[in-house]
Structure 1
Amino acid sequence: MDSERNDLLGRFLRERRALARPEQAGLPSNGRRRVPGLRRDEVAHLAGLSAGYYARLEQGREHPTRQTVESLARALHLDEQARVELYRLARPTAGRRRPGRVERVAPEVLALLHGWTVAPAFILGWSCDVLVRNPLATVLHNRFVFGDNLLRMIFLDPAGRKFFGDWSATARAAVHDLRRAARQAPDEHHLRELVGELAITSSDFRRLWAAPEPRGALTPGSHFHHPDVGDLHLRTEIFPIASAPGLRLVAHPAEPDSRSAQALALLGTLATRPAE
């Protein structure tokens, strides 16, 4: 599957490179050019990559990091739709991560999670990593590229702004939660790396992280949007897991007999549909 995805990514990059206009990149467009659009070495230079590495990307022999994908999107002047497609094909990694806290979900908690069929539910770790989802949450989040971490879903993922209807409230609550985790585990390097990554790649995160910390608890937004079922109004219930300090079970139930409950039931049919 990874090889097929890399091949599709390489084809996408070649096609977009051919469509790019030299003048967009500040390059001379007059005179005779050997290729339509930009040359490989020009894209590599604009993205801050070596020519050899970019060539391997087009050949399907490399898997890019998030920073690389963002650099390529800027270098190729991709619009929002093309940027989302680039992220979808790349499924980029965060880069090499040092080993840190091992977070395990007990079998009893897993059984509880997967037995919860009427509401999307998932387990969050110390750094808001999504450790496991029940089938309904998996379908609810199926448009996300950065589904491994709630903060990345909110601040970095192309799907985040459309999915979180109350994006500002959700973003503020998530940053508040991350601050709490940073105070409780100041030496957790995975958490520090996450903060650094978000600060580099998201101006919204930098603004909220630098702002004065609000008092009291913050409530995340309750409006969500899924392209298959439309708008959803869901509560957010968070349950600390006593047997694993720092882990939390997050559930998004709907009011019984509401339109959102019906939409979740429809999503449930997608969760149980056999793969084609």
Structure 2
Amino acid sequence: MSSSNARDSELGAFLKARRTELSPAEVGLPDSAGRRRVKGLRREEVALLASISPDYYTRLEQGRRQASTPVLDTLARVLRLDDGERAYMFELSGRDAARPRRRTTQKVQPQLQRLLDDLSTTPAVVLGRRTDILAWNVMAAALFTDFARIPEKKRNFVRLVFREPAVRALYPDWEWVAQTTLAQLRMEAALDPKDPRLAELVGELSLQDPDFRRWWGAHRVATPGSGTKTLNHPVVGPLTLDWSFLTSTDDPDQQLITLTAEPGTPSHDRLRILASWAAQAADHPVADR
């Protein structure tokens, strides 16, 4: 399957997933009496709302037709897509062409590594394509896990969230965190649907984890931004941290993620305690700490 065909197929699956989540009442249509044979909206109902023919819309879902920009705009409104979902749909359609994707092995930029090393009390990591973990600082290892012990090819944040017990246990709201990271990975997939390493990652996690398999099939998407994470750290206890994504201008495929706490809060104090603990652990390493 060509990259273009893969995008068309993914677009069709995305449209289907979104319409199944809308009821006729939500979009102002009368709900016909009796049991509906399909969940959510029918193809014919989406076509009616979008003022296109049912055959045209059916071909879109089947990956046999490309949509124009006006039709995509209308479908985004009809299907109640948020900004991230709309951008994802346009990415798949090729109407908002993505930058060329490079599949060479990524290495963290030296200036980002220096910045990581200088952040002595702030956990920070650099993520690459597919949420691969390219680099981290001492505080990030103290907060999440010892990334160095994980084989480089397995060093991926989505994989850690789903498959690493120590990372999974950090999050009291693990389901929300897992679904958000997966939705960001789904957005990444739109940029290069033929990426073999991404296909390998998705295939591996789909086989190993039923939650991943179910949520991946829901076609949820999200774009990186900023927010707040709640963690329960085994050494310093509960932490409420603000996280931010900073994209490298030299390589947009590398993003610096930092986690900070508001000064004067218990979480701010606990980060300082964690920094002290990490420094002591580095000075006096023990096996399997």
TM-score when scaled to structure 1? 0.59
The answer on whether the counterparts of 2:243 and 2:258 sit within 8 Å (CA) in structure 1 is yes
- Corresponding residue for residue 65 of structure 1: none
Listed one character per residue, the Cα deviations across residues 77-104 of structure 1 (whole Å, up to 9, x for unaligned) are xxxxxxxxxxxxxxxxxxxxxxx53111
Equivalence map 1:111-126=2 (5 Å): 111-126=114-129
- Corresponding residue for residue 83 of structure 1: none
Q: Do the aligned partners of residues 216 and 141 (structure 1) sit closer, same or farther apart at CA in structure 2, a change above 3 Å counting?
A: closer
Match of 1:250 among 237, 252, 257: 257
Distance in 2, matches of 1:215 and 1:103, equals 23
Distance in 1, matches of 2:227 and 2:204, equals 22
For residue 102 of structure 1, what is the amino acid of its counterpart? T
Distance in 1, matches of 2:136 and 2:275, equals 13
Distance in 2, matches of 1:225 and 1:263, equals 11
Equivalence map 1:1-276=2 (5 Å): 101-142=104-145, 148-213=155-220, 222-273=229-280, 274-276=283-285
Q: Do the aligned partners of residues 215 and 176 (structure 1) sit closer, same or farther apart at CA in structure 2, a change above 3 Å counting?
A: closer
- Corresponding residue for residue 7 of structure 2: none
Distance in 2, matches of 1:104 and 1:241, equals 13
SS class of match (1:187): coil
SS class of match (1:163): coil
For residue 203 of structure 1, what is the amino acid of its counterpart? P
Aligned residues: 177
Which contiguous aligned blocks of 4+ residues in structure 1 show a shift greater than 6 angstroms? 215-220
Listed one character per residue, the Cα deviations across residues 170-223 of structure 1 (whole Å, up to 9, x for unaligned) are 112111111111111222211111111110101110111011425777876611
Distance in 1, matches of 2:215 and 2:227, equals 14
Query: 5+ unaligned residues in a row in structure 1: which ranges?
Result: 1-99
The answer on whether the counterparts of 1:237 and 1:250 sit within 8 Å (CA) in structure 2 is yes
For residue 229 of structure 1, what is the amino acid of its counterpart? V
Distance in 1, matches of 2:278 and 2:129, equals 27
SS class of match (2:213): helix
Query: 5+ unaligned residues in a row in structure 2: which ranges?
Result: 1-102
How much has 1:159 moved relative to structure 2?
A: 2.0
Distance in 2, matches of 1:270 and 1:127, equals 31
CA RMSD of aligned residues (A): 2.2
SS class of match (1:234): strand
Q: Do the aligned partners of residues 153 and 119 (structure 1) sit closer, same or farther apart at CA in structure 2, a change above 3 Å counting?
A: same
